[in-house]
Amino acid sequence: MKRKVKFVLFDTMEDVSYEDYVANCDINNIAAGDENSQDYYNYVADSQRQFYEDAMYEVAHAEELNVPCVITGTLGLWNGNPTIYPQRDESVHDAIERCWGRDILDMDVTFEDGVFYVNAHHHDGTNCFEIHKLTAAGIKASEDWYRGRKECELKDKWLGKFKYQ
């Protein structure tokens, strides 16, 4: 049986503990604020942004992820969960950036069995996306709908799996 690879690429809701903040302040000879201080909240926001930037740097420089891919999924809206029109991107980095979108408060990205799963949380709910590698047939078929010239109905044979560790 083939082993599934699963891991969290990043999660902006990852806990940044107050103890980590105090240790960082001690290392930098800075007086630590209390747990409800603006300084601590700034540290948390900076840490979360750094987690995101580090992960995105890794994705941008992973050769196996700089290939055409497609985003599928649903939007979490106050009035339901409509399915999105498939969106093609030229790399996983670009696809994740597209998933971030506007009004997104937090996001987590996991990788399992060759597919990236993105949950983008906002005030109305959660947008749930999948990022699939396009096969050679998928790349060829997507040329028209990628440029907005034709409707797209994805076929399973167009979707491949990423090899990423």
Q: What is the pLDDT of residues 4-61, one digit of tens each?
A: 668 888 888 888 899 999 999 999 999 999 999 999 999 999 998 899 999 999 999 9
Residue 21 contacts residue 44 (beta carbons within 8 Å): yes
Identify whether 73 is part of a domain: yes
**Running DSSP on this structure, what letter comes out for residue 66?**
S
Domain shared by 135 and 149, yes or no:
yes
Identify whether 4 is part of a domain: no
CA-to-CA distance for 129 and 127, rounded, in angstroms? 6
The Cβ-side half-sphere exposure at 25, using a 13 Å CA radius, reads 17
CA-to-CA distance for 132 and 145, rounded, in angstroms? 16
Domain extent, residue 137, equals 66-160
Domain shared by 95 and 156, yes or no:
yes
pLDDT at residue 84, rounded to an integer: 87
Domain shared by 56 and 135, yes or no:
no
For residue 119, is it left (φ>0), alpha (ψ between -120 and 50) or beta? Answer: beta
Cα dihedral sign, 14-17-23-25: positive
Residue 149 has pLDDT above 60, yes or no: no
Domain shared by 101 and 26, yes or no:
no
Please state whether the predicted TM-score (pTM) of the whole model is above 0.95.
no
pLDDT at residue 146, rounded to an integer: 63
Domain shared by 128 and 49, yes or no:
no
Q: What is the pLDDT of residues 101-117, one digit of tens each?
A: 878 888 999 999 999 99
Domain shared by 80 and 152, yes or no:
yes
